[in-house]
Structure formats: C-alpha cells, structure tokens
Structure 1
C-alpha cells in the first residue's frame, strides 16, 4: 500500500509541475505574443480556470506527501519526503500570500476595467510563479529520488 501511495504522490506532483512549468514557459509566452487585448483576456481566463483547480492540487499534493512521510517514516528516503513536503508548504504559502492576491484581481480584468499597471502586475505574478515552479520542481525531484 505504501508503494502505491509513493507512486501516486510522485505522479500527482509531477503532473502539477508539468502544468505549472507549461504556464510559466509556454502559455504565458504565447499569451504575451497575442495581438491587442487577447493576451490579457487569455491570462484572465487562465486565472479563472486554473485558479479553481490548483488549490486542490497543491493542498492534495501536500497532504499526500505528508501521509507518505508519516507512513513511511522508517523507510528509505523518508527525510527526502519530509523536505519535499516542506517545499510544498512553501509553495502553498507563496501561492496564498503572493500569487493568489494578484490572480484574484487579474482574473476579473477586461480591456475596459483593467488597471493602468496591469502589465506590471502580470510581470510580478510571473516572477513569483517562476520561483514557485523552482520550488515544486525541487519537491518533485526529492519525491522521485525517495521513490527510487
């Protein structure tokens, strides 16, 4: 049963990393290259769509990692899983404190109601997101190493 938990947790965190990496290095670059107001509208839609799913994914990944750390405490790699769980806590805190406030505003923006500094706010969100991606990649790498 522990092996199934280990594999499921690693796959779930890996998929989350893939989505967030794609947002950072593929989707946002596509959105930024769109003409006129299309990029801002695409970001707003992405913020609504992913903003509804990602909290469950982040918290779920954290819970699974914590359960793995607790149930596998006396097994090989438990320390790596604990560090990964701490990194996932950091990613959740970053999300709640830094990214979600910007996302909650930007997901309601339209070309008619967006603030004058919307590009700066989007760039700030991107910078925070890059750091969060590095954090969750590190957590994933630790989980994968613990699984091996």
Structure 2
C-alpha cells in the first residue's frame, strides 16, 4: 500500500510541476507576445482558471507527502520525503504571501480598469513564479529520489 501511495503522490506532484513549468516557460511567453491587450486578458483568464484549481493541487500534494512521510517513517528515504514536504510548504507560503495577491488583482483586470503599473506587477509575478517552479521541481526530484 505504501508503494502505491508513493507512486500516486509522485505522479500528482510531477503533473503539478509540469503545469507550473508550462505556465512559466510556454504560456507566459506566448501570452506576452500577443499584440495589444490580448496578453493581459489571457493572463487574467489563466489566473481565474488556474487560481481555482491550484490551491487544491498544492495542498493536496502537501497532504499526500505528509501521509507518505508518516506512513513510511521507519523506511529508508523518509528524510528525503520530509525535505520535499518542507519545499512544498515553502511553495505554498510563497504562493499565499507573494503570488496570490498579484494574481487576485490581475484576474479582475480589464482594459478599462487595470492599473498603470500592470506590466510591472505581471513581471513581478512571473519572476516569483520562476522561483516557485524551481522550488517545486526540487521537491519533485526529491520524491523521485525517495522512490529509488
């Protein structure tokens, strides 16, 4: 049963990493290259869409890692799993304190009501998102390492 939990947890975290990697390195550049207001409107729509799903995914991943660490406490590699969990906690804290406030503003913006510094705010979100992606990639790599 522990093996199934390990695999399911690793897959769920891995898919989350893939989505966030895609947001950073595929969707962001695509949206930023669109003409006129289209990019900002795309960012707002993406913020609404992913903003509804990602909290459950991040917290669910963290809960699964916690269960894995607890269930496998006496197994080899638990320290690695706990470290991965700590990185996921860091990603949640970063999200709540730094990224979500920007996203919550951005997802309500239209061409008519966005602030004059909207580009700077989106650029800040993207820089912080790159850091968050690095953190969750590290957590995923640790989970994969714990499987071996």
Q: TM-score, with normalisation over the residues of structure 1?
A: 0.99
- The separation in 2 between residues aligned to 1:77 and 1:139, in whole angstroms, is 13
Are residue 8 (structure 1) and residue 26 (structure 2) matched? no
- Report the Cα offset of residue 64 of structure 1: 0.2
- The separation in 1 between residues aligned to 2:2 and 2:136, in whole angstroms, is 22
Q: Secondary structure at the match of 2:27?
A: helix
Q: How many residues are treated as equivalent by the alignment?
A: 148
- CA deviation string 1:2-58 (max 9, x = no partner): 000000000000000000000000000000000110000000000000000000000
- Report the Cα offset of residue 76 of structure 1: 1.6
Show the counterpart of 2:85.
85
Show the counterpart of 1:133.
133
- The separation in 1 between residues aligned to 2:107 and 2:120, in whole angstroms, is 15
- Report the Cα offset of residue 114 of structure 1: 0.4
Are residue 118 (structure 1) and residue 118 (structure 2) matched? yes
- The separation in 1 between residues aligned to 2:8 and 2:138, in whole angstroms, is 17
- The separation in 2 between residues aligned to 1:28 and 1:110, in whole angstroms, is 18
Are residue 24 (structure 1) and residue 21 (structure 2) matched? no
Dislocated runs of 4+, deviation >6 Å: none
- The separation in 2 between residues aligned to 1:74 and 1:65, in whole angstroms, is 15
Specify every segment of 5 or more residues in structure 1 that has no aligned partner in the other structure, as ranges: none
Q: TM-score, with normalisation over the residues of structure 2?
A: 0.99
